Amino acid sequence: MFNKRAIELAVGVFVALGLGAVALLAFRVSNLTTTEVANPYQVEARFDNIGGLKTRAPVTMAGVRIGRVRHIGFDNERYQAVVTMDIDGRYERIPIDTSASILTSGLLGEQYVGMEPGGAEEYLRNGDNIQLTQSAMVLERLIGQFLYGKASESNGGGTDAAPAPPQ
């Protein structure tokens, strides 16, 4: 009888640990971990296309996470996406001429904001705008351009114009 109860207890503990591991993995994958940035300051950047960027996406510089995307909005006058980012207060010496790009982790992974430092002596402060931006590369558009390029090559360059007359 004791042996049966010990087996049931061991199975119960094993199942509980398994469920805990699955829950932890789900939180990590969905980016819902509670790691907040310390003493953040906010900066904005405008992009023509942000692809699948989501709030709470990482903001990185040189591969190091320095912040998170706080809010994504739309500018009705310029027809651009406005991305507000919380930058960790420890990273206060980011040059004001830094550029921001929407990048993808892996081939089909999550999108994030990657920042490349500039060389200015002045640094980003709370409420500043990042002027130099590069929009997301949309995979469907790249595939379309590749296929269109191959189709025009097979058609002899894709032009229907008659050859120039000899002179």
* Residue 51 shares a structural domain with residue 106: yes
* Residue 89 shares a structural domain with residue 142: yes
Q: What is the number of domains present in the chain?
A: 2
* Residue 2 shares a structural domain with residue 58: no
Domain encompassing residue 122: 41-146
* Residue 52 shares a structural domain with residue 25: no
Q: Residue 154 has what pLDDT?
A: 63
* Residue 106 shares a structural domain with residue 59: yes
Half-sphere exposure of 118 (CA within 13 A, CB side): 15
* Residue 88 shares a structural domain with residue 66: yes
Angle at 135 between CA 121 and CA 50, to 5 degrees: 115
φ, ψ dihedrals at 11, nearest 5°: -65, -40
Give the mean pLDDT of 68-87. 96
Distance CA 113, CA 49 (A): 12
* Residue 105 shares a structural domain with residue 137: yes
The candidate with the shortest Cα–Cα distance to 102, out of 118, 85, 88, 89, is 85
In a domain, 10, yes or no: yes
Q: Is the pLDDT of residue 161 over 50?
A: no
61 Cβ contact partners less than 8 Å away, ≥ 6 residues apart: 91, 94, 98, 114, 115, 116, 117
Q: Is the pLDDT of residue 41 over 80?
A: yes
Give the mean pLDDT of 34-45. 81
Question: Is residue 65 within 8 Å of 59, Cβ to Cβ?
Answer: yes
What mean pLDDT, rounded, does the chain reach?
85
Q: Is the pLDDT of residue 95 over 70?
A: yes
In a domain, 153, yes or no: no
Distance CA 113, CA 146 (A): 25
In a domain, 110, yes or no: yes
Q: Residue 140 has what pLDDT?
A: 72
Q: Is the pLDDT of residue 33 over 60?
A: no
Higher pLDDT: 150 or 80? It is 80
Q: Residue 162 has what pLDDT?
A: 47
Q: Residue 143 has what pLDDT?
A: 82
Q: Is the pLDDT of residue 34 over 70?
A: no
